[in-house]
Structure 1
């Protein structure tokens, strides 16, 4: 029996284990953390990711613990609409995007992985071309070695050498809030070098996220800073911030990877953030990891030449990462003149044009 050795037990790693297991492979996951947990954050799953979950046999289970993503578009900080989403057209052409809690998705994925496959508390030190992995508890080997170990991947060094992530220029806050008043239409709002968005979760809570242009490594005061920055923005942002708990606020600088020259080397393949960590502006990070898992298992089962996986996945993920980067650059503009010009242009773009622009991202069939 062929074996897939997967480094990393996050969304991409667990999905990969499921994909290989369902093709009859033995799987082993090496995870650095002592327990598979998820931060308190929402997660958008677009139709392309839902098709990947369907391919893993988990689509219906994920849908049952999610809610349709009801985002109506983008506003400015006063609440004026800059662009509206044609939700009916998106639903008819691609299917409905959904929102779930990251912990719920991880729980579903973990439940579909063979109990004996997951080994936690193991730090990987080196990956060799012959399929041997040295780690804190000895060595492991596989016919395919999968690097699903995130933006600071150890496995990536065996494929591409040292590749340093780069700072996007903005930081982000995330939190889950229990609202005290009806939300109305859901939206993301853009200001000058700042954004605030919110989305409903299936359990009635609301996932909130915010960004701001700051130098790398700038410390945050958490909720007080969010209230200072966004407390005068349009409703319901002030009430969401008023209902938030300081302990629920997560703060992280946003990094991305430069384009890699390859995702594979011999028996070794990279996926998810280890291969193409991207900014969150398209909501495609986890979605692309799920696609990666399905494609890698298919290619490995059909042919030992993993360069087919690289040829199929690298152009697509590079395109999506580049789009996400460009959206972030526009959304984070902070010059008053540039922001006025941006907002004016956005109001003039018809929703049909925005709808067509989604096609290269959402049309993936696996």
Structure 2
């Protein structure tokens, strides 16, 4: 019998590690608490580091067929004045591959199809996990009652408010509120709203608005506002339109053209208190469960994909599972915890309300050339899978 794994959570990170393990001959069971695999979200930008991870998983062609190449980026003031612009050609020249933007649902569907060789258990909420020297056991609540399962490896990928992280590290304070709320939506192509090529973000005082073109003429946008935790839960598009009514085009047009039923609102959190380890015996934490990051660097899904490829690559290369898990913790913890700190700082700066600080921020951004911006993000986006991790050449068949 081959090696076995249990993955708790059917999101991007959980499905990605499932694919990596399947491609290497593991038997994988995914426990997902939702009755159906229905991803929540709007648009998703995948930076070059995430593109390389998907290439390693054998999904690069599917990504390129489904997504819109990204790399152009810009910062603007609320009035529309450009503070910084970087173009796709410059981006590709430095990183070798572009980023891609597409709807989160399309990414999730791509991963779900590739993970068809796993045993996908819907409606199973994992409530506890216990490790012993040679295996780990999970207990689930299921539609038919409590269920217990054991595997050589358990991967905890149950997200920001991970129940299992809390049980493994009961003294950890958990996610901390970042000080702002973000709304998201996707404008349909038929609305005909023209936007700039590439991701743009506009800064005000205590407010930001981001615009990302998606395939087929759709446009993903996000709006971040500094507010107390839990505030404005009943806000509607009309309320956002008032908040951003004096901002440059096409922001008011995007808000007017957005489907009200698709409006998403989230308080933003991150794990500012780092975990002491990402591994506990035969249990490994991955993605937001290990290192929830604010969206300010666009690296949440990207780092989950890096985690998945690193973990799968190491357990394939190293027959000793415990040694592979120790290496995973050693490799992933410093990088991801640094990005949590940097992203949180970027979010605080972007949300500055003080007029003098906001003016200084905008002036500094205008003085940084595009090559300086690309150099600053190079450490993050230049990641690639180790050549020592063999990437299987065929996808599993369901």
TM-score band w.r.t. shorter chain: over 0.9
Residue 268 (1) aligns with residue 283 (2): yes
Maintained 8 Å contact 1:146/1:268: yes
Distance 1:41 1:118, change over 3 A: same
**What SS does the aligned partner of 2:215 have?**
coil
Unaligned runs of 5+ in 2: 386-398
Distance 2:177 2:167 in 1: 23
**What SS does the aligned partner of 2:340 have?**
helix
Residue 35 (1) aligns with residue 48 (2): no
The corresponding residue for 2:154 is 145
- 1:158 is displaced (CA, Å) by 4.5
Residue 134 (1) aligns with residue 139 (2): yes
Report the aligned-residue RMSD.
1.3
**What SS does the aligned partner of 2:93 have?**
helix
- 1:38 is displaced (CA, Å) by 1.9
What are the within-5 Å matches in structure 2 for residues 1-366 of structure 1?
A: 1-69=2-70, 71-94=72-95, 95-115=97-117, 117-130=119-132, 131-136=136-141, 137-163=146-172, 164-178=174-188, 179-186=191-198, 187-220=200-233, 221-257=235-271, 258-301=273-316, 302=318, 303-304=320-321, 305=323, 306-366=325-385
Compute the TM-score of the two structures, normalised by the length of structure 1: 0.97
Maintained 8 Å contact 1:42/1:101: yes
Distance 1:79 1:41 in 2: 24
**Aligned residue pairs, count:** 366
Distance 1:281 1:337 in 2: 22
> For residues 6-30 of structure 1, what are the alpha-carbon distances to aligned partners after superposition, in whole Å with 9 as ceiling and x for unaligned?
0000001100110001111110000
Compute the TM-score of the two structures, normalised by the length of structure 2: 0.89
- 1:116 is displaced (CA, Å) by 5.0
Distance 1:111 1:181 in 2: 32
Please list every run of at least 4 consecutive aligned residues from structure 1 whose deviation after the TM superposition is greater than 4 angstroms.
none
- 1:231 is displaced (CA, Å) by 1.9
Distance 2:151 2:112 in 1: 21
Distance 1:97 1:116 in 2: 28
- 1:284 is displaced (CA, Å) by 0.6
Maintained 8 Å contact 1:86/1:355: no
- 1:313 is displaced (CA, Å) by 0.4
Maintained 8 Å contact 1:129/1:158: no
